[in-house]
Amino acid sequence: MKTTVRLRFVWFALLLSATLFTGCKKENVDPVAPADLADRVAGTYKYAELSSNGQTLPADETNLKGTITISRQTATTVRMVFAISLKNGNPFLDDTFDDVEVSETGNEILYEVDGQTFARGKGNAISINGRDSANKAFTLTAKK
């Protein structure tokens, strides 16, 4: 009789233990909210290539060097600091723009100032459209 009671107690203890261990699960902490668009595009982008007259050249085949730094101002605006210069140190694109509006269309990010789109981003790259001192159109691409 004592053996039967003891056996029942052991089974009860095992069942209770199994229930406690399997019933307890780690509480999921609220997942981190996805960053807003300005946070996602913020960072330093290194000059990677230059396109002009239908020709695209990698950075090491051009006379340019530098970075573009993007920092968040609000959820939909950023500050862009262009520090692109000639390899001899003379400035090429050396300017700062505040309140650049960022928006997302599909998988492309648009950068606008006063309603004019001057740059587009995709993945970890940003492409800036501009004109040089000879009024020739160019596209400068930089990568994070």
pLDDT at 133: 82
Please, what are the averages of pLDDT over each run of 10 residues along the chain (144 residues)?
56 55 60 80 97 95 97 97 95 94 95 95 95 90 97
Task: Name which of 75, 127, 81, 125 is nearest 101 in CA terms.
Answer: 75
**Alpha-carbon distance 55 to 79, whole Å?**
30
pLDDT at 140: 96
Go through the domains of the chain in sequence order and give each one's CATH number. Answer: 37-143 (2.40.128)
* Torsion sign (Cα): 102, 123, 39, 105: positive
Helix or strand (DSSP H, E) at 73 = none
pLDDT at 19: 60
Q: How many CB atoms lie within 10 A of CB 47?
A: 22
pLDDT at 28: 62
Helix or strand (DSSP H, E) at 33 = none
pLDDT at 6: 56
